[in-house]
Structure 1
Amino acid sequence: EEMPVQLSKHGCDTHMFAPNEDQMHVVNHLTGEEMPNEKRNVLVESARIARGKVKPATELNPADYDALILPGGFGAAKNLCNFATTLGAGKGTPEDMVVQPSIAKIVTDFNTQKKVIGACCIAPVILAKVLPGVNVTMGCSSGDDFPFAGATGAVEALGGTHEETQAPCKDVCIDHDKLVVTSAAYMYDGKPHEVFESVCAMVDAVVDLAKQN
């Protein structure tokens, strides 16, 4: 919710996109257990969360936009790529991590067209996979306040550079060469308002960089 709220404050005209395919699996978020007999579609679920108006990712034309923002969370780690079942699970090699094809194309096209890309939480690993050598942050690589700190090593394994941002993670990492902005968000086990501020800082930096670009 932070992203559309902050983008709205900036007066941005935004559109949302998602892959039109089944989720990796369905989880009962009350118990944390997988629901093996259920299927849900990523595009449909995205429309539910975003209150409709979500288009298939294959319809996104970077020429129509000034910037791209990738949200994080388990949905990004499981459905926008397979990080959750490969490097995120301590399995396989960097080559085994695969980004969903339409997402990989979108990121590549935005980068090729020299347009700003923002990402937060776990989503920066997608950028590390698609954009070799990119500088990103997902918080700190150690510490009790960073329960997913081990994921930062994946950025390095994928050929990127991870820049540490300390709690409460209001700082963003800006790769001016690749026009990429990232922040820690829920990679930091902070209070809700701290996570909100982390996401908003990323959005603010994306908007500022897009205006300069």
Structure 2
Amino acid sequence: MKQVAVILSGSGVFDGAELHEAVLTLLAIEQEGASYQCFAPNVNQLHVVNHLTGEVSEGETRNVLVESARIARGDIKPVSECDVSAFDTLILPGGFGAAKNLCTFAVDGENCTFNEDVLTVCKAFAQAKKPAAYACIAPALAAKVYGNKTKMTIGSDVETAGGLNALGATHVECPVDEVVVDNDAKLVTTPAYMLAQSISEAHASISKMVKTVLAMK
């Protein structure tokens, strides 16, 4: 049975992990006959967004690991404890948390900074030539990790794609129900909610990504 490390970035599309993408990822992993362990950085979120109003909640702080534990039903570890040798595959669902808490791409674009613990784990999978998959806006991290003109997708927004290219990747436009595969890097990316207009479209995107990355040797 393949073992998958899943890195989450909080809980909620606007300031954490996209909940639909995260849950669909975990479901798809099980449906493909694999198992997973969730991880998240033990740091405070960039900010907290009221998901009812879409406004930033002034003066409120939340921890990325604590919030991610909501999705993982408490079964989660700090990303600093992720032993790459214990896993076959790495998967990062999207949501603004991937671009606010795992890195600052949402705020700083190509000039963004990266959480060192997350970057260390992602780079370790890449250096070990183990397959990895990044959904939605999470390929901003993949661009930093792989560089070298590695092919990946982040939807169809021109400015966002430009930021990916500036980080050293090669952006490829991709329909919501398809994936972009870079076989040399063993990397799979999919647009998910960068393009999805419904949970069923997100499901098509995520399930194709998980199926594809788990089929890689």
TM-score, normalised to structure 1's length?
0.88
Q: Which runs of 5+ in 2 are unaligned?
A: 1-22
- Larger RCO (CA under 8 A, 6+ residues apart): 2
Aligned Cα root-mean-square deviation (Å): 1.1
Query: One-letter code of the match for 1:11?
Result: G
Distance 2:58 2:122 in 1: 31
Distance 1:189 1:138 in 2: 12
Question: Is 2:126–2:145's contact at 8 Å kept on the other side of the alignment?
Answer: no
The reply on whether 1:137 has 2:153 as its aligned counterpart is yes
Distance 2:166 2:212 in 1: 26
The reply on whether 1:63 has 2:85 as its aligned counterpart is yes
Report deviation, 1:38: 1.0
The reply on whether 1:172 has 2:179 as its aligned counterpart is yes
Report the equivalent of 2:20: none
Query: One-letter code of the match for 2:29?
Result: L
Query: One-letter code of the match for 1:135?
Result: K
Report the equivalent of 2:126: 111
Report deviation, 1:135: 1.0
Larger radius of gyration: 1
Distance 2:72 2:205 in 1: 20
Report the equivalent of 2:160: 151
The reply on whether 1:197 has 2:204 as its aligned counterpart is yes
Query: One-letter code of the match for 1:136?
Result: M
User: Which one of the candidate residues 44, 48, 55 is aligned to 2:70?
Assistant: 48
Distance 2:196 2:85 in 1: 37
Report deviation, 1:207: 0.6
Query: One-letter code of the match for 1:178?
Result: A
Question: Is 2:193–2:202's contact at 8 Å kept on the other side of the alignment?
Answer: yes
Question: Is 2:188–2:213's contact at 8 Å kept on the other side of the alignment?
Answer: yes
Report deviation, 1:179: 0.5
Distance 1:104 1:200 in 2: 25
Report the equivalent of 1:162: 171
Report the equivalent of 1:186: 193
Query: One-letter code of the match for 1:206?
Result: V
Report deviation, 1:189: 3.9
Report the equivalent of 1:11: 33
3-state secondary structure, aligned to 2:101: helix
Distance 1:111 1:50 in 2: 25
Distance 1:194 1:47 in 2: 25
Taking the TM superposition and a 5 Å limit, the aligned residue runs for 1:66-81 are 66-81=88-103
> What count of residue pairs does the alignment treat as equivalent?
194
Q: Which runs of 5+ in 1 are unaligned?
A: 88-93, 142-148
Query: One-letter code of the match for 2:165?
Result: E
Distance 1:68 1:100 in 2: 16
- Determine what percentage of the aligned residue pairs are the same residue: 42
